[in-house]
Amino acid sequence: MGYWDGITANIFRHDTQGRRYYNPFGKWGRIYEVPDELAGRLKRHWQRFHQVTWPLTVALGFLTIWMPWSWKVWLLVWVPYLIGIQVAGIAFAHWTVRPLSEATIARTDLLPVSRREAFIRYTRAVGPRKLQRSLAVSVVGTGLVAVLALLMAMTTGRIALWLVVGLLGALTALEVALWRKADGVEG
């Protein structure tokens, strides 16, 4: 159980017989049948992809905060980075389907997954208590940063800081809602 397990908790879909399918490109791509022996490897591959790209994104985010460059410079940094992540994700998805055989099932034959069910899968994969702890730390962190941004906005009067305060307030409210929702999920 852990964060990276939660990332891959919803990558597979199932049919009425319980067979596992992988559809990395959504309605624009093919559906692949996933044998049991490849399911674990496929999950590990996606976990590793996220373990590489997530720290890069966080590091670039911190660099954005600490470096006093103009927004134009950051636009020149972030846009190519985000495009690169998307291209890498698409290439990686193409690479992951190599050992899989194309399924002869229609999309309509796959069982639907509601948002609630996807959230429950994610929460069980991470672990309800671990998710609550991480959300609690996140609520405290975003709350403190929101207070700091509020103080800075009040003293400087910069409109951008008021937008940051609103965003962090909304993020904190979302995290509190998720924390309360995770409380009802059994591990």
Residue 160 is predicted with a pLDDT of: 66
pLDDT band at 49; cut points 50, 70, 90: very high
List all residues 6 or more positions away from 64 whose beta carbon is below 8 Å from its beta carbon. 74, 77, 78
Distance CA 149, CA 156 (A): 10
Starting at the edge strand that comes first in sequence, how are the strands of the sheet with 101-102 ordered?
12-14, 20-22, 32-33, 101-102
Distance CA 8, CA 5 (A): 5
Residue 101: its H or E element:
strand 101-102
The dihedral built from the CA positions of residue 40, 97, 58 and 156, taken in this order, carries a sign that is negative
- Residues 67 and 32 sit within 8 Å (Cβ to Cβ): no
What CA–CA distances, in Å, run from 1 to 9, 40, 43? 10, 14, 13
Instruction: Summarize pLDDT for 137-162 with one digit per residue, the tens.
Output: 777 777 777 777 777 777 776 666 66
Instruction: Summarize pLDDT for 90-116 with one digit per residue, the tens.
Output: 999 999 999 999 999 988 899 998 888
Helix, strand, coil abundance in the chain, percent, nearest 5? 70, 5, 25
Mean pLDDT along residues 55-74: 76
Backbone angles phi, psi at 101, to 5 degrees: -100, 145
Instruction: Tell if the pTM clears 0.85, that is, is over it.
Output: no
What CA–CA distances, in Å, run from 130 to 51, 124, 142, 181, 184? 18, 10, 18, 13, 14
Q: Where are the domains of the chain?
A: 1-112, 127-187
Distance CA 168, CA 74 (A): 21
